[in-house]
Amino acid sequence: MSTDRYLAVDGARALREGEPRLTEAAPGHVIVEISYTGVCGTDVHGYTDGHMLPPAVFGHEWTGTVAQLGDGVTGLHAGQRVVGGVGPACGQCAQCRAGHSRHCDTVFAEANGVDADAPEHGAFSTRVHVSARRVVAVPEPLSDVEAALVEPTAVTFHAVRRVGAELGATTVVLGAGPIGLLTAQNARRAGAGPMIVSEPTPARRAMARSLGFTEVVDPADLRTALDDLTGGLGADVVYECSGVPSLLQPAAELVRRGGTLALLGYPLENSSVSYGDWQSRELTVIGSLAYNHEDFVGAMHAIAVGQLDVAPLHTGTFELSSLKDVLEELDSGTSAHTKVLISPQQ
């Protein structure tokens, strides 16, 4: 009898257990034995909502080892450590043919779990069967825990790369959850100047300080701290990492005239903003969602050479049977955890 199993969303705050149908890897695919799967805010929202996520997305932050290769797979071998990512630009879709390979339609579909090869469930599972395009080899220096944090690191690597801020830019990061802390580190690595991290939770403020950020404030004190830093001018770049709809306009008001507002947090409701304010102050607004293949490669290199310190974000590991309790705790708003990993093999 197979011991393989997975957990998937089965309605609001409900999970169902299933058994993966993994006999052998299909041509062009691999079967990966999962070591760790990170619990993302998207997973929490999908669990509480019950229907918003494509099946492959519930459990999309994963690392493991290649257990089996299908026909035609090259460049990988059994036992190799990999992370779940996206493939290189396909060169065939409308965006690629028009010269916009950084916005490849195939990669975008893979990132959102809606491509033709998307697995029938995510990696809250002992094993997953995925297209070989979707796996990225892990460099030897990375630990398994660091590898498990590559996916959210790639999200923030992508956003900072899209912003392309000038060296020394005065920067504000709103939110010190995993995405905020990784964004702050990527911005620092990319040459950001004075930086303020704003976060309401004391434990997360302490985490930010432990990662070397000295200007870490409660949101109630942010405006004063920013005015003191810039003489009232405002920030060159504000990274909005909370995803709270009501904070979008206040976030924009932290940006100096001609500055940049970068959007990483993903609100689930509409936001009200002052179009005239944004226009009259000539703000540059940059949306960022997911990543490209090269963001995974760059993020792993930055971790491997010590430019990014991701392991401290890991604050707990739980077995697969604990997933429902973990999701409930993270949804409560009172959890002290930063990044939780699920170990499906336990």
Q: How many helices (H) and strands (E) does the chain have?
A: 12, 15
The domain spans of the chain are 6-149+310-343, 156-287
Model confidence over 59-79: pLDDT tens digits? 999 999 999 999 999 999 999
What proportion of the chain, given as a percentage, has pLDDT over 70?
A: 99
**How confident is residue 1, by pLDDT bands cut at 50, 70 and 90?**
very low
β-strand pairing of 216-217 with 195-198: parallel
**pLDDT score, position 333:** 84
Extended strands (E) in 187-271: 195-198, 216-217, 235-240, 255-263
Give the chain's mean pLDDT: 96
Model confidence over 221-277: pLDDT tens digits? 999 999 999 999 999 999 999 999 999 999 999 999 999 999 999 888 899 999 999
Q: Is the pLDDT of residue 286 over 60?
A: yes
Span 6-149+310-343 CATH architecture: Alpha-Beta Complex (3.90)
Place of tokens 């405006």: 223
CA separation for the pair 176, 208 (Å, rounded): 7
**pLDDT score, position 2:** 52
β-strand pairing of 127-131 with 29-38: antiparallel
CA separation for the pair 190, 160 (Å, rounded): 8
User: What is the four-CA torsion angle of 235, 291, 35, 57, rounded to 10 degrees?
Assistant: 100
| Percent of the chain as helix, strand, coil, to the nearest 5 | 35, 25, 40
**How confident is residue 324, by pLDDT bands cut at 50, 70 and 90?**
very high
Angle between helix axes 150-163 and 178-189 (nearest 10 degrees) is 50
Token pair recorded at residue 267: 């609100």
Model confidence over 89-140: pLDDT tens digits? 999 999 999 999 999 999 999 999 999 999 999 999 999 999 999 999 999 9
When pLDDT is averaged across residues 44-73 and rounded to a whole number, the result is 96
**pLDDT score, position 18:** 95
**How confident is residue 21, by pLDDT bands cut at 50, 70 and 90?**
confident
Model confidence over 186-230: pLDDT tens digits? 999 999 999 999 999 999 999 999 999 999 999 999 999 999 999
**pLDDT score, position 118:** 95
According to CATH, the topology of domain 156-287 is Rossmann fold (3.40.50)
